[in-house]
A and B are shown apart, each in its own frame.
Chain A
Amino acid sequence: MFFQNLQKVLRQNIREYGMYIALFVIMLIFAITTNGTFVSARNLSNLLNQTGYVAVLAVGMTLVIVVRHIDLSVGFLAGFIGAVAAIAMKNVGMPAYVVIPLMLVLGTIAGLITALPVAQLGIPSFVASLAGWLIYRGLLQMVTESSGTIIIADNAFNAIGNAFIPDLPLGLLPNMHKLTLLIGVVAIVLFVMSQISQRQKQEVYGFEVLPKDIFALKLVFVSVLVGAITWVLASYSGLSWTAVIMLMVVGIYHFITTQTVLGRHIYAVGGNPDAAELSGISVKRITYVVFGSMGMLSALSGILYASWLKSASTTAGTLFELDAIAAAYVGGVSAAGGVGRVTGSIIGALVMSSLTSGMNLMGTGIAYQYIVRGVVLAVAVIFDVATRRASK
């Protein structure tokens, strides 16, 4: 009975669970092929830091693709803003806490500028953002031309990409990072509680819910997974600031997309712009919001990347946009519009960076790495389309 239920649930929700299973399988394979190095505390910690700057882009890109657009300018925009931040700290002497919000504002403005021809004149976003790609690439080279790579000396700024959150000054568990453990436990408790309350609500309204045993299995599975990752991270240096920022971005965007009027309007515009407009939703406004958010996240991505490398280089941001787009598609977003979750895109980003990290550890040549990642992207999208069709 249990296995029948499991089979049925998996078959019905294969699209949703597929990515999680894929990520799990990929991690398992690398754990075996690298004799455990892949799942070591140090590597997982590094993996999260490396994923951060693409993951935040993927979150923004998800919404852009949901409203049937694309933004190619985000990579070099991130690179350019990283360089501007470096210059502001080094040459102007601004402190990090001024530079960071300033850069986020700058990024938002850049995003709104990309949206301008798209929203007002109906220029295809592919073209408008391709123009942005060229312009920001030029600007990046312009500001780094004289200096070449700009080394960032600001410790507070560099901490974002390299340091870990402080620990609680407690005596117990001397070798563990207590605050990380606490966050992990709180996350698990919140997850279990919200799942149970949601299930109760659905039962009240007579909606279809998972069979009890499968539901319990899901809770246990996620709790164990989160617990294990927390434990591994806590036994090293704890959560990095990058991981915290990434989790916050996902948390906020997940909330906005699933719980708010704005989120519903975004998905309505993606699902059918004409119907949305006739329902009193301003498609223009949503276009500005989505591109503005993309610009802000590009700035955040630029900050994360510059901070991680402690420098701004002339080539920073190259191909970030394609990594972000790939992550979003692996995560189940649909080019037809209106479909895709930010949580999926984060998983997509983790899948892609796990592949890079794992293959690096295995010593796979860079040529093969590209091919493998390409195949995974193709398979993910084919799988997605095939399951979508089957569920019709």
Chain B
Amino acid sequence: MSTPILEMKGITKEFPGVKALNNVSFRVAQGEIHCLVGENGAGKSTLMKVLSGVYPHGTYSGDILLGGAVQRYRGIRDSEHAGVAIIYQELALIPELTVYENIFLGNEIRNGPLVNWNETIKRAGEMLDKVRLKVNPAAKIKDLGVGKQQLVEIAKALSRDIKLLILDEPTAALNEDDSANLLDLLRGLRDQGVTCILISHKLKEVIEISDSVTVLRDGQTICTLDAHKGEVSESALIKHMVGREIDNIYPKREHKAPGEVVLEVRDWNAYDPGLGRTILRDVNLNVRRGEIVGVAGLMGSGRTELAMSIFGNPLGYQIKGELLVKGKPQSFRQPQDAIRAGVAYVTEDRKGNGLILIQDVKENITLANLHAIAHRGVIDSNAEIKIANEYKVSLNIKTPSVEQRVSNLSGGNQQKVCLGKWLFVKPDLLILDEPTRGIDVGAKFEIYTLMNKLVDQGMSIIMISSELPEVLGMSDRVYIVSSGRVTGELPIGEATPEKVMQLATN
């Protein structure tokens, strides 16, 4: 390894009751792309928060050396000043401001007390060229797609004099094209000498792009692998991450002859008055009993809108078309109606509209079906705890007790709480929107196994996902959506990645 630009030595960080980092060592060489992988809760985010000064010097033990000099950050400003730039999963841009205002936010180009807007716009243009983004610098952030916003974030980081660029799951919210584009850009930046730390759950991209990989597990450094020596492979990474070999990440299931149609939409159209455009056109789709139907499509293809429009239309689209549940025409005016008819929807955005983060595990699990544990409107708290504990055990939710706030759980466990909540309404049809986004391999496997068990018991599942292998690995049948239309329907035997991708980009 060439000279390290960053060296973290013996970092230990404790929270009340848990040791999040235990004597972690982490070395990043100058000019490399270094991936940091590990299950959720392994300590990746905590390590990066130590590095960026979110946890200031003195709240952890161990040393940080940047370019050989010991660093003692009192806060994020200090680390930024030293040349550490972090781009988080949740973007930190201001939607109502323009691209150029965002790029130089907090780092304004000044003429005395005034902002030099001409220079700002010119420099912003240069930064956008650097990240190969062709947008008008005067466009507002809210009008850009997530992929472009991500690039603006990177441009913002590059506008400062940085030594180290850290990206926390940058492709989690991106479609394949945007992801590929981003990875390509990172390679380009590496060639210009930028050192980059990439946190990612997508092992394929880790293998594709990394020079070296450090694996964390349970707050400890497991190993650092060198890609140029051929040490980085999917099986090696998974083995180190989970401490065991996983032969097949998609558990096998017999594709049985499906039962009767549980839900069907015919000539389904939706118009979003907020956006002022039609978001779904002539969609025809059905789900049978005991079947997993995959819905594949890129970001912005209308997948989530389709689910929302079926699930009681909480966003107020204007809908035309027929919805049949078990053969009976239905019109759901609110999610409550859909739930009563046996439809459940697990959102893609568990923090945004899935969980009540400030409430505890049991309150979240019972929320959608409180009447089942209440007599005349009064909640039976014993029954509530009992139910919550049942789901804690059956879904293997890792929490000290069901009275733990869900904001304190890791992503995978939060997702299991979401699932528990919707299983408790005992639905006939479960719509899963990106059920494994941002969660670790172990939890993914558990969720896949659970899905198989549920359909074996006669439930039907619609799985919306932007991860193609997941759709192909789990579904009995696949619908492909693109620009608000269903562009294809394939039985699993005929669905090849190439075919699906071709229809998705149709």
Contacts of A279 in B (CB 8 A): 335, 367-368, 421
Contacts of A281 in B (CB 8 A): 336, 367
Taking CB atoms and an 8 Å cut-off, the chain A residues in 241-277 that contact chain B are 259-262, 264-265, 267-268, 271-272, 274-277
B336 touches A280 (CB 8 A): yes
Contacts of A205 in B (CB 8 A): 385, 389, 401
B3 is an interface residue with CB less than 8 A from chain A = no
Taking CB atoms and an 8 Å cut-off, the chain B residues in 338-359 that contact chain A are 338-340, 345, 347, 352-359
How far in angstroms is the closest Cβ of chain A from B433?
A: 11
> A207-B403, A279-B335, A279-B368 are contacts. A201–B356 as well, Cβ < 8 Å?
no
A338 is an interface residue with CB less than 8 A from chain B = yes
A338 touches B389 (CB 8 A): no
How far in angstroms is the closest Cβ of chain A from B415?
A: 14
How far in angstroms is the closest Cβ of chain A from B409?
A: 14
Contacts of A371 in B (CB 8 A): none
Contacts of B374 in A (CB 8 A): 260-261
A338 touches B359 (CB 8 A): yes
Q: How far is the CA of A259 from the CA of B370 in the complex (A)?
A: 11
B359 touches A261 (CB 8 A): no
B314 touches A278 (CB 8 A): yes
B275 is an interface residue with CB less than 8 A from chain A = no
A272 touches B335 (CB 8 A): no
Contacts of A207 in B (CB 8 A): 401, 403
B105 is an interface residue with CB less than 8 A from chain A = no
Contact residue among A261, A275, A282, A339 (Cβ-Cβ distance under 8 Å from B334): A282
Contacts of B339 in A (CB 8 A): 280
Q: How far is the CA of A272 from the CA of B377 in the complex (A)?
A: 21
Contacts of A278 in B (CB 8 A): 311, 314, 335, 345, 347, 353-354
Q: How far is the CA of A268 from the CA of B340 in the complex (A)?
A: 19
> A205-B385, A264-B363, A274-B353 are contacts. A280–B401 as well, Cβ < 8 Å?
no
Q: How far is the CA of A338 from the CA of B382 in the complex (A)?
A: 23
B371 is an interface residue with CB less than 8 A from chain A = yes
A274 touches B352 (CB 8 A): yes
| Total B residues in contact with A, Cβ cutoff 8 Å | 34
Q: How far is the CA of A344 from the CA of B12 in the complex (A)?
A: 39
Contact residue among B314, B356, B379 (Cβ-Cβ distance under 8 Å from A260): B379
Contacts of A174 in B (CB 8 A): none
Contacts of A268 in B (CB 8 A): 356, 359, 363, 367
Contacts of B378 in A (CB 8 A): 259-261
Q: Which interface residue of B354, B356, B370 has the most chain A CB atoms within 10 A? A: B356
How far in angstroms is the closest Cβ of chain A from B406?
A: 10
Q: How far is the CA of A146 from the CA of B311 in the complex (A)?
A: 57
A267 touches B359 (CB 8 A): yes
A171 is an interface residue with CB less than 8 A from chain B = no
Q: How far is the CA of A267 from the CA of B403 in the complex (A)?
A: 16
B379 touches A261 (CB 8 A): yes
Contacts of B401 in A (CB 8 A): 205-208
Taking CB atoms and an 8 Å cut-off, the chain A residues in 174-196 that contact chain B are none
Q: How far is the CA of A329 from the CA of B481 in the complex (A)?
A: 49
How far in angstroms is the closest Cβ of chain A from B4?
A: 33
Q: Mark B48-80, 1 if CB is under 8 A from A, else 0.
A: 000000000000000000000000000000000
A264 touches B358 (CB 8 A): no
Contacts of A267 in B (CB 8 A): 356, 359
Contact residue among A264, A272, A338 (Cβ-Cβ distance under 8 Å from B370): A264
Q: How far is the CA of A338 from the CA of B356 in the complex (A)?
A: 9
Contacts of A264 in B (CB 8 A): 363, 367, 370, 379
Contacts of A277 in B (CB 8 A): 314, 334-335, 353
Contacts of B335 in A (CB 8 A): 277-280
Q: How far is the CA of A339 from the CA of B356 in the complex (A)?
A: 12
How far in angstroms is the closest Cβ of chain A from B404?
A: 10
A282 touches B356 (CB 8 A): no
Contact residue among A206, A271, A276 (Cβ-Cβ distance under 8 Å from B358): A271
B368 touches A271 (CB 8 A): no
Contacts of B377 in A (CB 8 A): 260-262
Q: How far is the CA of A267 from the CA of B359 in the complex (A)?
A: 9
Contacts of A265 in B (CB 8 A): 370
Q: How far is the CA of A279 from the CA of B340 in the complex (A)?
A: 11
Q: Mark B281-313, 1 if CB is under 8 A from A, else 0.
A: 000000000000000000000000000000100
Q: Mark A353-383, 1 if CB is under 8 A from B, else 0.
A: 0000000000000000000000000000000
Q: Mark B166-207, 1 if CB is under 8 A from A, else 0.
A: 000000000000000000000000000000000000000000
Contacts of A276 in B (CB 8 A): 356, 367
Closest residue of chain A to B421 (Cβ to Cβ) is: A279
Taking CB atoms and an 8 Å cut-off, the chain B residues in 428-483 that contact chain A are none
A282 touches B355 (CB 8 A): no
Q: Mark A190-218, 1 if CB is under 8 A from B, else 0.
A: 00000000000100011110000000000
How far in angstroms is the closest Cβ of chain A from B463?
A: 18
B356 touches A271 (CB 8 A): yes
A271 touches B334 (CB 8 A): no
Q: How far is the CA of A9 from the CA of B232 in the complex (A)?
A: 49
Other A-B pairs, 11, CB within 8 Å; known A262-B377, A277-B334:
A201-B382, A205-B401, A260-B374, A261-B371, A264-B379, A271-B357, A271-B358, A274-B314, A278-B314, A278-B347, A282-B336
Provide a sorted-by-A list of 11 A–B residue pairs whose CB atoms are within 8 angstroms. Answer: A201-B382, A206-B401, A207-B403, A265-B370, A272-B356, A277-B353, A279-B335, A280-B334, A282-B334, A282-B336, A338-B358
Interface residues of A (CB under 8 A from B): 201, 205-208, 259-262, 264-265, 267-268, 271-272, 274-282, 338-339
Across the A-B interface, the 6 shortest Cβ-Cβ residue pairs: A274-B353, A271-B356, A280-B336, A279-B368, A280-B339, A261-B370
